[in-house]
Amino acid sequence: MLLWDDVIRYARHGNPEPEYRVSKPDNEWRAQLTPEQYHVARQKGTERSFSSEMCNIFEPGIYACVCCSSELFDSTDKFQSGTGWPSFTQPVKSNAIAYYTDNSHGMQRIEAVCNTCGAHLGHVFPDGPEPSGLRYCINAVVLKKVIR
C-alpha cells in the first residue's frame, strides 16, 4: 500500500519504472482523443467539477487510461470525496502512476500522471480515508472503465 511519504519520495527522487511505455507524436494523440480528453491528458487541463456522473458510479471494475489503456485504479479503491471528481485511495499497482511536484496556480500539489504514457490524470492529496490517507483526485475524462 502506498502512503503519502511514498508519493513524496517518488515526486522528489524519481518514479518506479512502468512495465512498458507508450509514446506517440502529438498529431496522433489529437486524432485519437476528443478535444476535452486531449486538453486534460496532454495539456494538463482540468475538467469542470461535477461534470461527470463517474463520481457516483461504484460498480465493480477497473479504470484505465483513455490514452494508452493502462490499468490505473480499481473500483474497490474508489470513494465519494464530494470534490466533483472521481477519487481513489490507491492505484492498481505501485508503478501505475508517476508523481511530479506541481507549483501552478499559486499552490504546491503533487500531480498524478499515467506512468505508461505520461497523460495528466489529476492530483493526489494526503486527505483521503484510512488506511492509506490518500485521495487521488482524477479527471473522469481521462479514465475509461474496463471489464475483466
Q: Which residues are catalytic?
A: 137
65 in Cβ contact with 122 (< 8 Å): no
Instruction: Return d(Cα 31, Cα 35) in angstroms, integer.
Output: 9
Residue 38's φ and ψ, nearest 5 degrees, are -60, -45
N-terminal to C-terminal alpha carbon distance within the chain: 22
Cα–Cα–Cα angle for 89, 94, 97, rounded to 5 degrees: 75
Nearest to 111 by CA among 125, 122, 95, 96: 122
